[in-house]
Chain A
């Protein structure tokens, strides 16, 4: 059901990375330095931009939290018990 979650580090296909989570990180995180030409979009505007992008691609890229393609790294609560090793608490 959710092979990506069980994959070793780095083996989930890059194209399948959920867009929202990707934007949260590449636009909202990462090292910020003032380069010679760094992007000068205010945070507020970035959010607006991202939302517009999302709205334009929700159907194509983000089918919903629990109904994504198999490779979407989503852990469904019901799917979890199978992977439970002994004695971890």
Chain B
């Protein structure tokens, strides 16, 4: 079902960067469309050439995962070889001409973004409240003398209060963690996560979900600090992912063209 021509855009790099050796979505060959020092890494995506087809296909979870991983793989390969401005999944143009127009029209912003991310990587940090951890909860039971039903209710109430206390202190700890990491980062962005909702059931309430843009050379220092913070705040479960291409630090204001 290949329809009209379409080009899938993965990322923009400086023209000096090498073209990644792998392939793109659906195994299509990668190539570059260059203009004025900027190179967009693209591949043919005829399957998505007719309006609506892309949305239709991505409704299939397996297809979405395959496409998302393929997209990321190219972005990641670019990122390994130089400054990379990742594009959101599903940005398509009809022709090289269209891509070149994009590079011309958004030249300034793309160049600024490339400068911003050069030599830097993104680390994702999430924190979850570990509610079962608080040891003070166990001592909260002055109800030996109360009737059984009342004792049960009191115990339930005391458990609930302990949980709330633990969560409150987790939120406070999370803001300390954020402050400490922001201090060593070039920039920080909050990250909205599709996973927050289901993780609450399995891990605990998410109290922090941030991305930090960090100098590549400071990666060890960053991880060390995370480790220190993890030990300082045992009521938090910290989770780190990365290093990522700087997905979260290339947002353009306005979104549309022109």
Interface residues of A, CB < 8 Å — how many?
A: 59
| Smallest Cβ-Cβ distance to A9: which chain B residue | B243
Q: Which range contains the number of B residues in contact with the other chain?
A: 35 or more
Question: What's the minimum C-beta distance from B108 to chain A, rounded to whole angstroms?
Answer: 13
Contacting B92 at CB < 8 Å: which of A30, A37, A84, A89? A37
Contact with B along A28-68 (1 / 0, CB 8 A): 11111111111111000001011111111110001011100
**A31 contacts B241, C-beta separation under 8 Å:** no
Given A20-B193, A83-B227, A35:B54 Cβ within 8 A: no
**B244 contacts A88, C-beta separation under 8 Å:** no
Question: What's the minimum C-beta distance from A68 to chain B, rounded to whole angstroms?
Answer: 10
* Chain A residue contacts of B102, Cβ below 8 A: 33, 35
Check A27 for interface membership: any CB of B closer than 8 A: yes
B-facing residues in A1-39 (Cβ within 8 Å):
5-6, 8-10, 14-15, 17-39
**B203 contacts A77, C-beta separation under 8 Å:** no
**B88 contacts A29, C-beta separation under 8 Å:** yes
A-facing residues in B113-139 (Cβ within 8 Å):
113, 121, 124, 128
Check B216 for interface membership: any CB of A closer than 8 A: yes
Question: What's the minimum C-beta distance from A29 to chain B, rounded to whole angstroms?
Answer: 4
Name the residue among B90, B91, B241, B251 with the largest chain A CB count within 10 angstroms: B241
Check B32 for interface membership: any CB of A closer than 8 A: no
A-facing residues in B43-68 (Cβ within 8 Å):
48-49, 51, 54-55, 58-59, 61-62, 64-65, 68
* Chain B residue contacts of A58, Cβ below 8 A: 198
B: residues with CB less than 8 A from A are 6, 9, 12, 48-49, 51, 54-55, 58-59, 61-62, 64-65, 68-69, 71-73, 75-76, 79-80, 85-94, 98, 102, 106, 110, 113, 121, 124, 128, 191-195, 197-199, 202-203, 216, 219-221, 223-228, 230-231, 234, 236-244, 247-248, 250-252, 255-257
A: residues with CB less than 8 A from B are 5-6, 8-10, 14-15, 17-41, 47, 49-58, 62, 64-66, 73-75, 77, 79-81, 83-85, 88-89
